[in-house]
Amino acid sequence: MSTEITTDAATTAIHKARAALYRYRFMALLTGVMLLVLVVEMGIKYGLGAFTDVSGIMPFIAWVPFAHGWIYVAYLVTVADLWSKMRWGFGRLVTMVIAGVVPVMSFILEKKVHSEALAKLAALEERYLS
C-alpha cells in the first residue's frame, strides 16, 4: 500500500483548506468588529452609566453581548476547522482562540494567519499539483 498522495486527494484537501481559510477570515473580522462594538457597549453601560442615567439607551444596545457570544462560538468552529485542516501546532490554536476575546487582536492575527496559510497552500499546490 502506497503512502503517496494522489493529485485528486491533494486537490480536494487544498480546496477544503482554502474554503476553511475564507470562512475563518470572515468570522475573524466579524468577531473583531463585534468585540469592538461590545467594548463600546460596556463603556456606555459601566463607564458612562456611572455618571449619568443610560437606561434610555440600554434597550437599543442590550443585544450586543449576546450577539458577540454567539458569533464567538461560530468563530471557534471556524478556528477549529482551519486549524485541523492546516495541521498547525496547539499554540496556534490557543492564539487563534484568544484572538476572539482580545480587542483588535483578531484583526492582527487574521492577517498573519491568512498570509501564512496562503503561503503553505501555494507550497502544497507546487509540490503536489505541478
Whether pLDDT at 2 is above 70? no
pLDDT band at 3; cut points 50, 70, 90: low
pLDDT mean across residues, the chain: 93
Residues 6+ apart with CB under 8 A from 120: 86
Report the percent of the chain where pLDDT is more than 70: 97
SS3 81: helix
How many C-beta neighbours within 10 Å does residue 102 have?
12
pLDDT bracket for residue 15 (50, 70, 90): very high
pTM comes to 0.90
Report how far residue 129's alpha carbon sits from residue 108's, in angstroms, rounded to the nearest whole number: 31
Average of per-residue pLDDT across 24-50: 95
Q: pLDDT tens for residues 103-125?
A: 999 999 999 999 999 999 999 99
More confident residue, 1 or 126: 126
Cα–Cα distance between 111 and 28 in angstroms, integer? 10
pLDDT of residue 129: 83
pLDDT digits (tens, 9 = 90+) for 49-86: 899 999 999 999 999 999 999 999 999 999 999 999 99
Q: What is the mean pLDDT of residues 21-26?
A: 98
Q: Provide the pLDDT for residue 1.
A: 46
